[in-house]
Amino acid sequence: MRTNIKNNSLWQPLKRADFRSLCLGYTSFMLGSQCYYVALTWLLLEFTDSGALLGAVLMVGAVPRMVFMLVGGALVDHWSPLPIMRIASTVISMAVGVLTVLLWFDAVQTWHLFAIALIEGMNDAFFYPAATAIIPKMIDEEQLHSANALVSTGDQITQIAGPAIAALLIGWTGLSGTFAINTGLFAVGVVLLWFMRTRPLNGSALGMNSNNMFGSIIEGLRYAWRNPVIRACLVIIAILNFALVGPLTVGTAALAKAKLGGEAAYGSLMVALGVGSLVGTLGAGSLGNRLHPGRLLIGLSLVLAITVSILGFTDSLIIVMLTLLVMGFGIGFVSVVAIVWLQRQTPLDMQGRLMSVTMFAEVIFDPFSQGLTGLMLDVGLPPLFLSAGAIMLITSIFALFSSLARSE
């Protein structure tokens, strides 16, 4: 076993005890997150038959994620990623625990769901920039592909296991039992992160007033905007997420309920997406250094334009699963390559802000994507998925003529 780890660069970062602790804590927390998203989506579908209300709740979670993402990145650079991850994971664990108690006593009201979504969105704005920025501060540059792939592998495994576990638990224990177990998964992740034995990874904490915070955010935005390649990359990421987030969250859940057989089918779809992402992530960890991130983004846009359109014209569970498998592979592979490329373009003291700008690009259109998807459900599933495909096709044409395609 030691020989395999030594000779295989993909596993090399796991020789560091603090990185192993990070992987375990992050993976446990993400398993809880995946179960939470599936259970919450199903709770909303059970709680209301209104696509507009479903989209509105998800939109309330997306807005604070977008608004506070840049603040989260600036805070990571001024303080340290690890304590931010610890605090954020503790907050969401407590919030989901409260929701569990409300479900247990059959006391959930609509405003509770909006409040939980608001807390979850704000929590994400701090947790995810910290989780991404922490890796370059722990790992040598030549191991960044491997380290990011390993962390993403834990993420992808939870995308496979989380929906399947959530679907089984909903059938066996009901929603209240599912959220109770979900809270336990979050708690395990919190404990692992709190017991990581490592010094602050970003130096000592700095005193900070509102002017410093605002200046830090502006500095991060300016850094990203002045680099034409980074700028093009972020624009493409933003448009792809606008086209894809709503259809893959709200749209696939509605598709499973209307045509494919209910919650068990929805769990299968999320597993297929997760398996594809896992294979793509591992492939990127081994081959990512040899490939051009710009051309990969262009290819991904074309593939997604075709595959998401297919979802609107089939009621076959197998075809939908295969389609999501291909989409997951492309997303997983390109995500690792793009993140590592961005990390390598950025000084260590700017990592938190650039990662937050990247994630801001990913989430800025989430409220609109999810809200519009909820409204489009009342029009029909084929127009929803076909519109998403058209947007991605236009994006691929834009990417083909952008500075990203010409970069080295």
The domain that holds 376 is classified in CATH as 1.20.1250.20
The region of weakest confidence among 328-337, 354-363, 396-405 is 396-405
Q: Does residue 49 carry a pLDDT above 70?
A: no
pLDDT above 50 (res 141)? yes
- Which pLDDT belongs to residue 294? 67
Answer whether residue 16 shows pLDDT above 60. Answer: yes
Question: Is residue 201 assigned to a domain?
Answer: no
Percent of the chain with pLDDT over 90: 3
pLDDT bucket at 7, cuts 50 / 70 / 90: very low
| Higher per-residue pLDDT: 97 or 364 | 97
Q: Is residue 4 part of a domain?
A: no
pLDDT at 309: 87
Q: The pTM is what?
A: 0.64
Question: From CA 217, how far away is CA 352, in angstroms rounded?
Answer: 10
Name the residue range of residue 286's domain. 14-195+209-406
Q: What is the mean pLDDT of residues 66-74?
A: 79
* Count: domains in the chain: 1
pLDDT score of 100 more than 60: yes
Return the pLDDT at 287.
63
1 located within any domain: no
pLDDT at 6 exceeding the cut of 70:
no
- Does 203 reside within a domain? no
174 lies in a domain?
yes
Question: How far is the C-alpha of 297 from the C-alpha of 70, rounded, in Å?
Answer: 24
Res 206: pLDDT: 43
Confidence of residue 97 (pLDDT cuts 50, 70, 90): very high
Q: What percent of the chain has pLDDT over 70?
A: 84
Q: Does 301 reside within a domain? A: yes
Q: Is residue 248 part of a domain?
A: yes
Q: Is residue 5 part of a domain?
A: no
74-88, 197-211, 377-391: least confidently modelled range: 197-211
